[in-house]
Every structure is written in structure tokens, then in C-alpha cells.
């Protein structure tokens, strides 16, 4: 890590310090003499994540200063806008505003060459399940596959028809920040084409704890920008299923029991239907 910081400091004429947080990426902040301002630096393990974050950010604002490969990683240098966490309690007023912000994101960000597009979803997700080590949810996931396989063509057809928006890919309270006093979304590395409902799922389960009052307030705010989010019940369940798979994939790499429990809660929802 010291070698990376030293290389970045030399190249950017900076005094960077590491920001500690749970992620597969490293982030740094500090003042850069090269850019004559405070900078936020993100080190990506995957080129696609770097490419995606850079492209989405460029569509939303002028925050990107530069980007370059470094060793076996990719570096994105941004203006440090000193984002502030949401401190107030989660209530209907706040989540309405969150819905407006996400709806605005879905309308503003347009597809770009090289954006990730999920294809052959059934085959890919089944293969992913087979790689899991944890048996407690691996068995349940395999059993749930049988719920969706008979309707594979119908689900894929509906998803294809509604996958014309650029999703944020990781919507949650932690990725909503106040910047210059305005509520905004950050962290776009997981953006991809898909149905907008996909962006709601983790937020509803993890941050809203499936509180219907909060969900309805959020959807009301979202609808002020975009009303195109309705899907059939079976397809919504399938998206919850695939979101759970994504959570288990993450928690097999980084231990996060609370997050894994969210994935298990999603499975319970589908199993009851």
C-alpha cells in the first residue's frame, strides 16, 4: 500500500492518505499541487469498473480530473467535493427526495459504448451459484432456480423490453451524500443496463427494512421523474433472486454477516410466494 501511495503522491504531487472502508477498491484523499486543489483518488482492481465510473461521472458533472493505469490497477482522480453522510432519520420526506434523485439519474445517464449488459442471465447465475462454498444458502438457491426456469423465456423477454436504462447498480443510503448542500448519488462503478426496478431492491430490503410507508414514499418521489418501473410479479421476484445471488457472491469474498442476512431475507420472501 505504501508503494501505491508513494507512486500516486509523486505523479499527482500530492499528500494522499488512505480512507478506510470495506471495499475491493482503495480510496485516497489529499491536496494535489498538480491540480492545485484537494483530490479524491479511487484505485480500481477491474478495468470495467474504472471505465464505468469515469463514463457515468463525466455525464453527470465535471468532477473527473484524470485517469490512468498503475501497476495492475486503474486510477481515477476526482475533485474532492467532501461529500457528507445523511445524518437525519430515514423518514418519508427523505426517501421521497431519494426517489427523485434516482429517477433523475436514470433519465440523465445515457448508455455508452462498452457499458456492461447482462446477458444469458439464467445460465450465468446458475454457474455463479455452483461456485459458492456456503451450503446454507447454496441449496436454497438451487431449489429456487426451479421456480423460474419454466418461465425463462417470458422473464427474459420482459427484462429485455425494460432494460434500456443505465442503472446505478448499488443504490443504498451509504451512496447518497450531501454535496454542496444537495442530495446526490455517488459511486457509479457498478452501473449497467437493466430494468430500473433492479436499483430499488437492496435499498428496500437493507435500508427500508421493507417498510411499506417508506417504499411508497420513495416510489412517489421516483415517479415524479420516471414512471417506467412496473414489472410482473414473477419478474420482480426473479430480480430479487438475482440480487440475493450478488449479495452472497460479495459476502463470500468479504465477510459481512449483516449483508448476508439481507440476502437470506430476500430468499425468504421468494420462498413464501
pLDDT in tens, 220-241: 999 999 998 999 999 999 999 9
What angle, rounded to 10 degrees, do the helices at 152-162 and 233-251 form? 90
How far is CA 212 from its chain centroid?
Answer: 22
**Sign for the pseudo-dihedral over CA of 131, 195, 268, 244:** positive
Q: What is the pLDDT of residues 7-64, one digit of tens each?
A: 999 999 999 999 976 566 899 999 999 999 999 999 999 999 999 999 999 999 999 9
Q: Where are the beta strands (DSSP E) in 46-179?
A: 64-70, 73-79, 165-167, 176-179
pLDDT reported for residue 128: 87
Alpha carbon distance 162, 181 (integer Å): 33
Q: What is the pLDDT of residues 159-209, one digit of tens each?
A: 989 988 999 999 999 999 999 999 999 999 999 999 999 999 999 999 999
Which residue would you say has higher pLDDT here, 151 or 22?
151
Q: What is the pLDDT of residues 74-111, one digit of tens each?
A: 999 999 999 999 998 999 999 999 999 999 999 999 99
Confidence of residue 1 (pLDDT cuts 50, 70, 90): low
Q: Go through the domains of the chain in sequence order and give each one's CATH number.
A: 2-79 (3.30.200), 92-272 (3.90.1200.10)
Which residue would you say has higher pLDDT here, 244 or 120?
244
pTM of the model: 0.92
- Decide if pLDDT at 6 tops 90: yes
Confidence of residue 125 (pLDDT cuts 50, 70, 90): confident
Amino acid at each position: 500500500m505504501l508503494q501505491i501511495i508513494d507512486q500516486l503522491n509523486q505523479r499527482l504531487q500530492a499528500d494522499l492518505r488512505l480512507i478506510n472502508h470495506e471495499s475491493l477498491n482503495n480510496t485516497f484523499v489529499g491536496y494535489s499541487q498538480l491540480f492545485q486543489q484537494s483530490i479524491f483518488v479511487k484505485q480500481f482492481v477491474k478495468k470495467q469498473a474504472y471505465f464505468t465510473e469515469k463514463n457515468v461521472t463525466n455525464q453527470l458533472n465535471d468532477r473527473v480530473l484524470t485517469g490512468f493505469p498503475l501497476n495492475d490497477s486503474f486510477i481515477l482522480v476526482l475533485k474532492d467535493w467532501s461529500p457528507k453522510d445523511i445524518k437525519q432519520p430515514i423518514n418519508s420526506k427523505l426517501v421521497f427526495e431519494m426517489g427523485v434523485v434516482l429517477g433523475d439519474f436514470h433519465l440523465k445517464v445515457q448508455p455508452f459504448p462498452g457499458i456492461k449488459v447482462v446477458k444469458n442471465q439464467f445460465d450465468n447465475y446458475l454457474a455463479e451459484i455452483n461456485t459458492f462454498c456456503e451450503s446454507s444458502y447454496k441449496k436454497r438457491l438451487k431449489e429456487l432456480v426451479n421456480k423460474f426456469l419454466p418461465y425463462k423465456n417470458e422473464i427474459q423477454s420482459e427484462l429485455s423490453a425494460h432494460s434500456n436504462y443505465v442503472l446505478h447498480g448499488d443504490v443504498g443510503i451509504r451512496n447518497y451524500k450531501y454535496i454542496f448542500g444537495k442530495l446526490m448519488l455517488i459511486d457509479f462503478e457498478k452501473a449497467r443496463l437493466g430494468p430500473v426496478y433492479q436499483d430499488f431492491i437492496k435499498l428496500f430490503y437493507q435500508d427500508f427494512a421493507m417498510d411499506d410507508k417508506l417504499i411508497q414514499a420513495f416510489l412517489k418521489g421516483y415517479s415524479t421523474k420516471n414512471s417506467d418501473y412496473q414489472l410482473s410479479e414473477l419478474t420482480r421476484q426473479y430480480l430479487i433472486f438475482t440480487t440475493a445471488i450478488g449479495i452472497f457472491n460479495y459476502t463470500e469474498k468479504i465477510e459481512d454477516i449483516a449483508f448476508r442476512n439481507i440476502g437470506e431475507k430476500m430468499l425468504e420472501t421468494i420462498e413464501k410466494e
